[in-house]
Amino acid sequence: MKEDIKKIKFNNVQKPNFQFDLVELNELLNRELDHDLTTIHRVEFYHIFLITEGDGSHTIDFTEYSYETATLFTLRKNQLHCFNRSNNVNGYLLLFTEDFLLSHFNKIEVSKSIQLFNNLLSMPKITLTKDEFSDILKLISRIKTEYFDTYDDFSVGIIRSILHILITKLYRIKTRDNQNLLQRKYFNEFIQFQKLVEENYATTKKVIDYANQMNCSTKTLNNICNNIIGKSAKVIIDEVVITQTKRYLISTTLSVKEIAYKVGFDEPSNLYKYFKKYTGCPPELFRKNN
């Protein structure tokens, strides 16, 4: 398989071997890199991206999001995205790996933190209020001071702690219309189901197969999904399959026939009908338009 889209691994050019980095947008866009940030690329780490001035747009997984000052984006690892240049824009990017979180938080805290970036639970874009923007900017400024000015034997622990506070505050903001999401019945079961689907969607798309893996009935599994995000288990499976198909169409030169086998269809015509049903256009047209 030939990847046309660049896979970007975490690489801290400022502090090698440190799995966290803080970068200003203008500085990042002016770096000499082996890839073009303004074309679609796949990241293998997490992003928190705050716009501090200006307006423009940013593309994440086939969707172009407009932004202005006080807009924040959260990007999950393995998502596709690109920066769309704008002359009057600046901001901060906090970049880190899951290992960075694991080295400081326990597994339960890491699992909760990662849900900030869960694209099934919420959109990647947050529009901050004036007070929220001020609060988040202060936290990032504290990280910036610790990272660039103070940096001593205590700095790594302090940065992790402030980042944990930042992620928790952002998750509170993201769920302000649904404050009790983490405390909802079935939340952990939903995350388990999502992980199973993302790992096994090419093998099975049947709700009953996932219910069996979770030792529950299909009715219970549908109740779990409806309780958390108001969708059936089948809809979630379909959304994962469609997203993965889009990624293959955009990031590889595989034929539609080859992609069909990759995502678990025995016949390419079945993928054609399936994709058109959910997107309104055939795979070839989606690839051409993107």
Domain 187-289 in the same topology as domain 6-174: no
Distance CA 100, CA 110 (A): 10
pLDDT of residue 38: 75
Find which of 7-11, 54-58, 137-141 is predicted with most confidence, using mean pLDDT. Answer: 137-141
pLDDT in tens, 12-39: 988 988 999 999 988 887 777 666 777 7
Q: Is the pLDDT confidence value at 106 over 70? A: no
Instruction: Please report, for the chain, the start and end positions of each structural domain, with discontinuous segments joined by +.
Output: 6-174, 187-289
Distance CA 6, CA 24 (A): 22
49: nearest Cα among 62, 41, 60? 60
pLDDT of residue 49: 95
Dihedral sign computed on CA atoms, order 8, 136, 17, 108? negative
pTM of the model: 0.78
Of 3-7, 85-89, 248-252, least confident by mean pLDDT is 3-7
Determine the average pLDDT of the residues in 249-263.
90
Distance CA 183, CA 168 (A): 14
Distance CA 102, CA 113 (A): 11
CATH T-level assignment (fold) for domain 187-289: Arc Repressor Mutant, subunit A (1.10.10)
Reported CATH class of domain 6-174: mainly beta
Across-strand partners of 82?
Answer: 59
Q: What's the token pair of residue 230? A: 């108001």
pLDDT of residue 181: 55
Which one is predicted more confidently, 185 or 203?
203
Dihedral sign computed on CA atoms, order 115, 77, 263, 196? negative
